Amino acid sequence: MLLREFTLESVVDQAILFHKELNPKLWKERRLNPEVRFKLLKIAKHFINFIDIPQISLKNVTLSGSNAAYTYTEHSDLDLHLVVDIPSAAQYHLKPLFDAKKNQYNFQHDIKIHGIEVEVYVQPVADAHHSAGIYSVLDDQWLAQPKPIKVTIDDHDVNLKFKNYVNKIKQALRSDDISVANTVKDRLNRLRKTGLERQGEFSVENIAFKVLRNKGYIDQLRQHIYKLEDQALSLGEQQ
C-alpha cells in the first residue's frame, strides 16, 4: 500500500494542510491576538449563560484543533472548549445535558471570528483531549504547543474509510427511521474517538471524519436527525 507525503492533489487536502506558521488571522508571534482572545472569552461567557446551570465549575477555556496548530484549512473551525469539573455523582445526568446544550447552541448561532466558524464544547476536566495544540484562552498561554511538522498519510485508507461512511450516511438519509440515523451518528463519533486515541490528529479515522464534515455530510446527517425528531414529536392535523 502506497504511503506518500501529503501533496495538494491528495484527498487529504480537503481536511488538512501543513503550514510553517499558525493562522495569521488568529495568532501573532505564537500568541493569540488580544482582540480574538477577548471575543472568544465573550463567547464562552455567553455560552455559560445559555447553559444556565448554577455554580458551573469552570476550570479553563481552551482553544484546540487545527486552528491551534499548523494544519488549518479554509474549512477549519475554532474549537472552543469550556473545561468543567463534573462531580462523579452528577456525570450521568450532566454530560448528556451539556451535549444537548452544545448542539442546540451551535445550531442556533452562527458565530465567526475573521470568517472562521466557532464551535463551542463542554469538556469534562477528567476527559482526555487529543489535539496537536491546546491553548488556554483564559490564562493566555499554551498548554500543549504544536510543532510545524509534516507526516506521511495513507491516502488510500482515508479514501476507503471516507467512501464507506458516505454510503452509511446516504442510507440513513434515505431512511425515516431515526434509530438508523442515530446509529450512524454514534458510529461516526466512535470512529473519530478511536482514531484520536490510537494515533492522534493524523489518524486515518480523524482525517476521514474531517473530509466528511468539510463536504457537508455530517451536517446533513445532523439536520436529518433534527427533522425526524420533530416529526416524532408532532401530531398530524385533525381530519
pTM: 0.75
- The upper half-sphere exposure of residue 110, i.e. CA atoms within 13 Å in the direction of its Cβ, equals 1
Give the pLDDT confidence of 176-186 residue by residue, as tens digits.
999 999 999 99
DSSP code, position 15: T
- Return d(Cα 193, Cα 201) in angstroms, integer: 10
- Return d(Cα 86, Cα 94) in angstroms, integer: 8
- Return d(Cα 114, Cα 222) in angstroms, integer: 26
What is the percentage of the chain residues whose pLDDT exceeds 90? 42
- Return d(Cα 25, Cα 209) in angstroms, integer: 25
Q: Are 196 and 203 in contact (CB under 8 A)?
A: yes
Q: Are 166 and 180 in contact (CB under 8 A)?
A: no
* pLDDT beyond 60 at 34: yes
Quote the pLDDT of residue 8.
35
Structural domains of the chain in order of their starting residue, each with its CATH number: 19-144 (3.30.460), 152-233 (no CATH)
Give the pLDDT confidence of 117-142 residue by residue, as tens digits.
999 999 988 888 778 899 999 999 99
Give the pLDDT confidence of 164-178 residue by residue, as tens digits.
999 999 999 999 999
CB within 8 A of 60, min separation 6: which ones? 81, 83, 125, 136, 138, 139
Q: Which amino acid is at 158?
A: V
| C-alpha pair distances (Å), 118 with each of 85, 102, 110, 132, 229 | 23, 12, 8, 18, 25
- Which residues are bridge partners to 80 per DSSP? 63, 120
